[in-house]
């Protein structure tokens, strides 16, 4: 009997090239730099794991003093649909600071709205969301990111930090997973 084939790049259809991502991040960086002009310190919070690559590239295009922090929010495991339950792990002091939350993708909106609710309790001066990808057609709670890289249809995407079962995060582009 044939063994099931392991997931690989043949299961992906290209959606957003590395060049388009780079170009778009440069623009986002400019917009953020302009919007926060004069801000003494912007706290950039990377939502792990998916936003690690996006955050690393984005902060290189934000021309402001930044403090970069990390927060873990899990709602998916290895499944392709949101569980609706968000667990947040962090130890960040954001009282009276301007905070920019950096996400890989906003889908149902459950994860980001859970994080926002939690961070608001910590009394930030302002709190905005920058997401690389947005799937507004999937929304279950009202949330609209302040900065969006790309708006996409309800595809399940991987690459550029996004994974499925731990795979494909390292890819420099975004592809649609289609086994
Ligand atoms: P939400 O709570 O908005 O439904 O989902 C947010 C989280 O689900 C994202 O941070 C991401 O980890 C995961 N997610 C949502 N859509 C996708 C997708 O198309 N691909 C991958 N790899 N993860 C996704």
CATH no. for 18-74+83-155: 3.40.50.2020
**How do residues 113-129 score in pLDDT, each as one tens digit?**
999 999 999 999 999 99
Question: What pLDDT digit, counting tens, does each position of 72-104 carry?
Answer: 986 654 455 555 556 677 678 899 999 999 999
User: In Å, what is the CA distance from 110 to each residue of 61, 97, 140?
Assistant: 28, 24, 7
Would the CB of 76 count as within 6 Å of ligand 1? Answer: yes
Domain boundaries, the chain: 18-74+83-155
**Which of 57, 104, 107, 134 is flagged as catalytic?**
107
Indicate if 93 belongs to the active site: no
DSSP assignments along 13-29, one per residue: EEEE-HHHHHHHHHHHH
CA separation for the pair 135, 108 (Å, rounded): 8
Q: Please state whether the predicted TM-score (pTM) of the whole model is above 0.75.
A: yes
Task: State if residue 31 touches ligand 1 by the CB under 6 angstroms criterion.
Answer: no
Do the strands 66-74 and 87-89 form a parallel or antiparallel pair, or are they unpaired? antiparallel
**DSSP characters for 139-160?**
-SS----SEEEEE--S--EEBT
Alpha carbon of 2 to ligand 1 centroid (Å): 32
Model pLDDT for residues 29-70, shown as the tens digit of each residue: 999 999 999 999 999 999 999 999 999 999 999 999 999 999
């Amino acid at each position: 009997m044939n063994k099931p084939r392991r997931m690989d790049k043949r299961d992906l259809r290209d959606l957003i090239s590395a060049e388009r991502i780079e170009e778009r991040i440069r623009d986002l960086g400019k917009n953020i730099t302009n919007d926060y002009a004069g801000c003494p310190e912007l706290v950039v919070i990377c939502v792990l794991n998916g936003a690690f690559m996006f955050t690393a590239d984005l902060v290189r295009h934000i021309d402001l003093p930044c403090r970069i922090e990390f927060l873990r929010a899990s709602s998916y495991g290895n499944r392709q649909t949101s569980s609706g339950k968000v667990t947040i792990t962090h130890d960040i002091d954001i009282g009276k600071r301007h905070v920019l939350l950096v996400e890989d993708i906003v889908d149902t909106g459950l994860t980001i709205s859970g994080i926002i609710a939690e961070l608001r309790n910590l009394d930030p001066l302002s709190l905005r969301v920058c997401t690389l990808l947005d799937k507004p057609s999937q929304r279950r709670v009202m949330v609209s990111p302040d900065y969006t890289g790309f708006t996409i249809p309800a595809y399940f995407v991987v690459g550029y930090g996004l994974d499925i079962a731990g795979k494909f995060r390292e890819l420099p582009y975004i592809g649609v997973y289609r086994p």
